[in-house]
Amino acid sequence: MDRKIDELLFSLMQNMTIAVSGEKLARDLGVSHSTLVRWIDKLREAGVEIRGELFTGFRLVRLPDVMLPQLIRPRLRTQTLGRNLYHFYKVDSTNAFASRLVNHGHKVPDGTVILAESQSAGRGRLGRSWHSEPEAGLYLSMILRPKVPPSLAPLFTLATAVAMHNAIERDTRIDVDIKWPNDLLVGGKKVCGILAEIQAEVDMVRTLIIGAGLNVNHSKLPDDIAGRATSLRIASGRIQSRLEILAEFLEEFEGLYRQFEKAGPSLIVEQWTTHSSFANGRAIEINDGVRHISGVTRGLNPLGALRVEEKNGRVTEVYSGDVLRWE
Ligand code: BT5
């Protein structure tokens, strides 16, 4: 459905300076006048400013910042990641849509990417929610089928954090830190969160869905998270390009993924360690789902688990969890 609306928006964008007759748009898209009007309304609801009506013709007021596949495709430098692309103006959650796609038996190619302008039920980890303001953020999910046991799945969330870190730094020159396991921080505040969901047999991952939410152009965040969250725009004082960051991210992630398939986790582990101030010497308290572990971080093990030296000198290796406190 949204694919046709993308086509409509793209043709309005190609005719920015003139009003395009509703008659012609409906004919080109092969839909009735009433469907056209409904789609125009849907675009307006999504924040796209369109002037006019069916009989006068429609014209865009300004170039909208929408993640149109027609704009993304020419910028993609990947082989497979993002080549199959779904784009929504509004969806409940890109991760939820991805699992519906996989579960309903559709043949979903590896590396499929789902993008949304806004989410009505963006998900965080452990049942928490993700604030997903329209147009301001990047909300994406990737469908992957790595040939690994479930125990190695957390490596791909580390890889996502590294890829997003590199994409943001390259594109915006903003300093980004990675908080274990996979939040991105700017000036100590969260700018990006990652949610990996896995469908697996006991010894093999069937499908891995990795979602990432990045605050890009929010001018402010809701009061309940404003103290611990920020956006790239707030941090840099400039509007940033979601499109360019996305293209960089997909290229970076595909590079890490391919390297993993060829040579194992070492590059992901090495890059994560280089870019995270949490890798070494941080006092930290973690809930790994079973118990609380407090101690000082001592790097990642070769499979990506965080090594934490506890007070009694014992080193515990933690694959995933929630950081409760850190210094
Ligand atoms: C995460 O969870 O950080 C994972 C967030 C993943 C979101 C993406 S968006 C695309 C894809 N589709 C989805 O439905 N989800 C993924 P967690 O570590 O549990 O952090 C959640 C907590 O971060 C919340 O409880 C808030 O305190 C805070 N938070 C919520 N929205 C935020 C935002 N926009 N920016 C910064 N912090 C936020």
* Domain, as residue range, for 101: 69-275
Whichever domain contains 240, its CATH number is: 3.30.930.10
Tell me: do 288 and 248 sit in the same domain: no
Whose CA is closest to atom 7 on ligand 1? 213
Q: Dump pLDDT digits (tens) for 1-55.
A: 589 999 999 989 988 878 999 999 999 999 999 999 999 999 998 888 999 998 8
Number of helices (H) and strands (E) in the chain: give both, helices first: 10, 14
Site to substitute for ligand 1 among 112, 118, 130, most atoms within 8 A of C-beta: 130
Burial of 218-241, coded b for 16+ CB within 10 Å and e otherwise, reads beebeeeeeeebbbbbbbeeeebb
Q: Dump pLDDT digits (tens) for 118-137.
A: 999 999 998 999 999 988 99
- Return the half-sphere exposure (C-beta side, CA atoms, 13 A cut-off) of residue 48: 28
Q: What's the structural domain count of the chain? A: 3
CA distance 164 to 256: 12
CA distance 205 to 197: 11
Tell me: do 52 and 133 sit in the same domain: no
Ligand 1 center to 98 CA (angstroms): 17
Q: What share of the chain is helix, strand, coil (3-state, %, to 5)?
A: 35, 30, 35
What pairing do the DSSP bridges indicate for beta strands 85-88 and 112-116?
parallel
Q: Dump pLDDT digits (tens) for 61-120.
A: 988 888 999 999 999 999 999 999 999 999 999 999 999 999 987 789 999 999 999 999
CA distance 61 to 64: 9
Tell me: do 91 and 195 sit in the same domain: yes
Contact present, 90 and 5 (Cβ < 8 Å)? no
pLDDT at 8: 93
Ligand 1 center to 133 CA (angstroms): 12
Q: Which residues contact 207 (CB under 8 A, 6 or more apart)?
A: 102, 143, 144, 145, 198, 199
